[in-house]
Amino acid sequence: MKSYVWLTFAFMGWGYYEMSGGADFVPVERVTAEVEAEAPEIVARADTTTLLSVSSSNIIAQPTTTDVEVENAVADALALDAVEVVEAVAPVVEPVLDIRRVGGSRVNMRMGPGTDFDVITTLNSGTELEILSVNADGWANVSTVDRGIEGWMAERLLSDPSN
């Protein structure tokens, strides 16, 4: 059997040699184009490695005083010969966040809205989460308050908004 394998190997080697041109084989020279290298683009980076994310999906806008209203109030006060002029300052709008707690004992936070997505982490009962959005299928896009991990969780596993 061993001699049969060696004989087959030798025959196949001879066949390959002959099919590729044998002793008359001349390799084809390929023409290559020279490309002038360009200088790389310089990219500036921030001084900090902290990632910041701001979600405006659950911020409730508060009414603000416009500059025209402030100017009208100052003009009215001056027209009445008011002695004291008070500088009007626009109120600071504080965002109202939707903070809820995990209702189940151990709940998976996933990479997307559904059980087909990979689990990012498992959260214990009572963990505070900021609700970024809720889709029509009942999945909430959430972010942990303490660690800032963002993911998806079934809304039915969260406490009510009033709690």
If one counts every other C-beta atom within 10 angstroms of the C-beta of residue 86, the result is: 9
Secondary structure element (H or E) that encloses residue 102, with its range = none
On average, the pLDDT of the chain sits at: 78
The pLDDT of residue 12 is 93
Report how many domains make up the chain: 2
Which whole number is the average pLDDT over 3-15? 90
Hey, which bits of the chain come out as E strands? Answer: 99-101, 106-110, 119-124, 128-134, 139-144, 150-154
| CATH value at residue 114 | 2.30.30.40
Q: Domain for residue 56, yes or no?
A: no
Asked whether residue 84 falls in the same domain as residue 127, the answer is no
Q: Domain for residue 77, yes or no?
A: yes
3-state secondary structure of 92: coil
Confidence grade of residue 99 (pLDDT, cut at 50, 70, 90)? confident
Q: Domain for residue 120, yes or no?
A: yes
Per the CB < 8 A criterion, the answer to whether 62 and 95 are in contact is: no
Residues 24-75 pLDDT 10s: 877 778 877 777 777 666 666 656 555 555 555 555 555 666 677 777 776 7
Q: Domain for residue 44, yes or no?
A: no
Domain limits at 70?
61-94
Asked whether residue 117 falls in the same domain as residue 88, the answer is no
Asked whether residue 131 falls in the same domain as residue 89, the answer is no
The pLDDT of residue 162 is 65
Per the CB < 8 A criterion, the answer to whether 91 and 62 are in contact is: yes
